[in-house]
C-alpha cells in the first residue's frame, strides 16, 4: 500500500512543482484508504501581525541563541528584527557596536506553530517557501526542520553559508549526513525552496529536495514518528565565516506553505 502512494507522489513531484490539492487513494488486497490533501499553513499567515502570531512563534523553540554569533530578538510587541510588509517576512541582522560576549549581531528567527510529524495517518508532507537570501561571508540564512524531542532528525531545505551555494542536508545521525549542494544564481533574487516527504515504510521516509521546481535529490531517513519544528532564521558567522558584514543584513521570505495528506 505505501509503495503505491509513493509512486503516485514521485511521478507528480518529478514532473514539476506539484500543486494538486485533489484527493489521492491507495489500496492493496487487505485494505484500502483515501489520502485527502490538507493545507495547514500558507502565505496568508503573513497578511497581518494577528495572522502571523496565530501561526508562528518568535526566536528559536529553545530560546534566543543557536550556532553562530547572532542573538535573536522578537516578540508580538518587538518587531525591531522581525517584521512584515506587503505579505513579506523580513528578518534583519544588525551588528552590535561594542559586543561584550560571543554575540556580534541582533537578528531574527521564527518557527511555525504547526509541528511536522510523518506518521501512518499523515504519510506525506510538502514544505516550501520563497526567499531572497544574503550570501556574503558571515551570513547564514536557513529554512529547516528539526526534531522537537531529539536531534536528529534534521532536514535543511535552504541553507547558505557565506557564498552562493545552497546546502540541502539530511541529518540521520551527527555523522551520517546526506547533502546535495547547488550553486544558485543570484540568491538575493526570489527563489523557491521545497521538500516533499513520503513515508515509505514503518520507520523511513524519502525526502525530495527542489529549488525553483527543479528536483535536486532524494534522501532516505528514519524520520517516521519523529515530530519536527519548521524554523526560518538568519544566523550569522559560525559556519558561514568571519568576520561578518559591518552593515545591516536582510533575509526575506514569502509564500510559506505546509501541506500534508491525511489517511482515512
Which sequence positions are flagged as catalytic?
Answer: 154, 159
Q: Cα(first)–Cα(last) distance of the chain, in Å?
A: 13
Structural contact between residues 221 and 55, judged by C-beta atoms closer than 8 angstroms = no
Query: How far is Cα 106 from Cα 247, in angstroms, rounded to an integer?
Result: 12
Query: How far is Cα 32 from Cα 49, in angstroms, rounded to an integer?
Result: 43
The 3-state DSSP class for residue 170 equals strand
Structural contact between residues 152 and 172, judged by C-beta atoms closer than 8 angstroms = yes
C-alpha cell recorded at residue 101: 560576549
Structural contact between residues 152 and 166, judged by C-beta atoms closer than 8 angstroms = no
Element (H, E) at 2: helix 2-15
Amino acid at each position: 500500500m505505501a509503495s503505491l502512494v509513493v509512486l503516485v507522489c514521485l511521478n507528480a513531484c518529478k514532473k514539476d512543482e506539484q500543486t494538486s490539492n485533489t484527493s489521492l487513494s491507495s489500496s492493496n488486497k487487505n485494505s484500502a484508504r483515501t489520502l485527502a490533501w490538507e493545507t495547514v499553513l500558507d502565505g496568508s499567515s503573513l497578511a497581518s501581525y494577528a495572522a502571523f502570531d496565530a501561526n508562528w512563534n518568535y526566536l528559536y523553540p529553545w530560546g534566543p541563541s543557536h550556532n553562530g554569533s547572532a542573538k535573536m530578538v522578537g516578540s508580538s510587541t518587538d518587531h525591531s528584527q522581525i517584521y512584515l510588509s506587503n505579505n513579506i517576512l523580513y528578518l534583519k541582522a544588525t551588528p552590535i557596536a561594542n559586543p561584550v560576549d560571543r554575540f556580534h549581531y541582533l537578528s531574527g528567527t521564527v518557527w511555525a506553530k504547526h509541528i511536522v510529524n510523518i506518521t501512518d495517518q499523515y504519510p506525506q508532507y510538502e514544505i516550501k517557501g520563497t526567499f531572497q537570501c544574503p550570501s556574503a561571508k558571515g551570513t547564514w540564512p536557513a529554512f529547516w526542520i528539526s526534531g522537537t524531542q531529539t536531534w536528529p532528525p534534521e532536514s535543511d531545505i535552504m541553507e547558505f553559508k557565506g557564498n552562493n551555494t545552497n546546502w540541502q542536508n539530511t541529518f540521520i545521525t551527527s555523522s551520517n549526513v546526506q547533502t546535495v549542494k547547488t550553486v544558485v544564481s543570484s540568491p538575493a533574487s526570489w527563489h523557491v525552496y521545497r521538500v516533499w516527504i513520503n513515508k515509505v515504510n514503518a520507520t523511513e521516509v524519502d525526502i525530495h529536495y527542489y529549488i525553483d521546481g527543479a528536483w535536486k535529490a532524494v534522501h532516505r531517513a528514519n524520520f517516521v514518528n519523529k515530530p519536527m519544528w519548521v524554523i526560518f532564521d538568519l544566523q550569522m558567522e559560525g559556519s558561514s565565516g568571519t568576520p561578518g558584514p559591518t552593515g545591516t543584513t536582510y533575509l526575506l521570505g514569502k509564500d510559506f506553505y505546509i501541506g500534508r495528506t491525511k489517511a482515512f
